[in-house]
Amino acid sequence: MSMSSPTSSPEDSPMSSHEDSSMSSDDDSPMSSHEDSPMSSNEDSPMSSPDDSELICSCGLPAKLIISRNRSPYRLFYNCPRGQYNQCGFRQWFDETMQTDNQHVDQINLISIECIQLQERINEIEEERGQERSLRFKERAELNSQLSAVKDELNKIKSEIKPVNKSNPTSAGVTFQTMSMSSPEDSPISSYEDSPMSSPEGSSMSSPENSEVICFCGRLAKLRLSMTSKNPNRYFYNCPKRRNNQCDFFQWFDEPIPTGDRRVDEMNLISSERNRLQERADEIKEEWDHERSRWNKEKMELHLQLSALKDELDKIKSKIKQENDGLDKIKSEIKLENDGLVKIKSEIKLENDGLDNIKSEIKLENDGLIKIKSEIKLENDGLDNIKIEIKIENDGLDIKTEIKLENESGSMPPLN
């Protein structure tokens, strides 16, 4: 029993959004067109042959086989190969063309399912990778914050210990190696999705493998690089002329060149897409592994640097503590000496106070002696006065004696 192809719906077939096509819009591919959405208009019936030869659109050009990427992901359809403003309007699902083989359709659809599963796996990997990047970004920020805090503390201590050299002010403190706080792959926004699409005048290269790819102008097509969010770093061919003069030719570098056999081309295209998705999944996984490896190395370096700085800080703090303990010991000894001096001073003061008391007592004794001497002097003065009086009396007696003697001798009359 053959496997039915994805059914088309009004959302699928009538001119789907630009994001649907592998080459549909400026946001998705280097060439802007409505070529993604398969829709058969009544007036634009395909010119096809009963065999498996290529389909011809209303323009008379071979219809381009495209992979849908929007509402019917990885379903093949044919579209007018011209650009957005020059299309004839021809669009048709691959399994709605004439002479369709159910077995061939089933094979294509099975590979389409594999493509869907691979794309889902890619989306899951990218989501998990994004979550891990976010956690890694926070962890790196936290480690750098700790490093910054330790560096600041260490610089502050060293600047306080070591005076600034006036001839070279920058010599004070410490110079540290600065670790990057974040890397592009760890940013919350993926680096792929920020790159602009390369313009036709932008990067280009020749293709030794497919040097005979010819555009609608008959010129050798130029290989360029797409940098869109949906097709990052993907090469494509387009017209070698400048943008305003280009024809509408476009072809992805990694898609097989049409052979003219529809079945072969359809199988080649969907198979190459599956291979591309598988390679993309493997590439993302490998990039993720490299990111983890780089982060583990960087994290180890950050931890080592943090550990080294903490060890240095601890050593300096320990040395400062030892010096402070030594200072405390010296201060304690000085205090003991000061206490001894205070005690000696106190004893001296007591002795001085004793001497003062003795001096005071001696002074009192001296004052007493002086008083006694004064009293003795007064007494001596009194005695002297008495002696004088006695002398005077004696002198008077002597006079009286003389007078008496004279009187007795008769030379003078007697005294009354």
For 72-86, write each residue's pLDDT tens digit: 889 999 998 887 777
Indicate the number of domains in the chain: 1
For 172-224, write each residue's pLDDT tens digit: 444 444 444 444 444 443 333 333 344 444 444 444 445 578 888 888 988 99
Q: From residue 118, give the alpha-carbon distance in Å to each of 139, 190, 200, 254.
A: 31, 20, 31, 17
What is the phi/psi pair of residue 354, to 5°? -65, -45
**Do the beta carbons of residue 65 and residue 114 sit within 8 Å?**
no
For 44-82, write each residue's pLDDT tens digit: 333 334 445 778 888 888 888 888 888 788 999 999 888
From 100-104, 195-199, 311-315, 317-321, the region with the lowest mean pLDDT: 195-199
**Do the beta carbons of residue 57 and residue 39 sit within 8 Å?**
no
> Per the domain annotation, does 273 fall within a domain?
yes
Q: From residue 371, give the alpha-carbon distance in Å to each of 88, 157, 348, 383.
A: 151, 78, 33, 18
What are the tokens at 373?
């001497």
For 281-302, write each residue's pLDDT tens digit: 999 999 999 999 999 999 999 9
User: Residue 229 has what pLDDT?
Assistant: 78
> Per the domain annotation, does 408 fall within a domain?
no
Burial of 326 (0-12, 13-18, 19+ CB in 10 A): exposed
Q: From residue 255, give the alpha-carbon distance in Å to each of 208, 210, 272.
A: 15, 11, 6
The 3-state secondary structure of 146-200, one letter per residue: HHHHHHHHHHHHHHHHCCCCCCCHHHCCCCCCCCCCCCHHHCCCCCHHHCCCCCC
The Cα–Cα gap between 243 and 83 comes to: 12
Residue numbers of the domain that contains 281: 18-320
User: Residue 112 has what pLDDT?
Assistant: 93
> Per the domain annotation, does 311 fall within a domain?
yes
**% of the chain with per-residue pLDDT over 70:** 73
User: Residue 135 has what pLDDT?
Assistant: 95
> Per the domain annotation, does 381 fall within a domain?
no
**Do the beta carbons of residue 265 and residue 259 sit within 8 Å?**
yes
Q: Is the pLDDT of residue 8 over 50?
A: no
From 93-102, 112-121, 288-297, the region with the lowest mean pLDDT: 93-102
User: Residue 195 has what pLDDT?
Assistant: 36
> Per the domain annotation, does 345 fall within a domain?
no
For 241-275, write each residue's pLDDT tens digit: 888 888 888 888 888 888 888 889 889 999 999 99
What's the chain's average pLDDT? 76
Q: Which of 4, 14, 227, 229 is nearest to 103 (CA)?
A: 4
Strand partners, 93: 77
User: Residue 358 has what pLDDT?
Assistant: 87
What mean pLDDT comes out for the span 154-158?
Answer: 87
Q: Which residue has the tokens 């979550």?
A: 131
User: Residue 193 has what pLDDT?
Assistant: 36
> Per the domain annotation, does 346 fall within a domain?
no
> Per the domain annotation, does 366 fall within a domain?
no
Q: Which of 133, 50, 36, 159 is nearest to 99 (CA)?
A: 50
The Cα–Cα gap between 109 and 221 comes to: 32
What mean pLDDT comes out for the span 349-359?
Answer: 87
What are the tokens at 358?
């003795």
> Per the domain annotation, does 128 fall within a domain?
yes
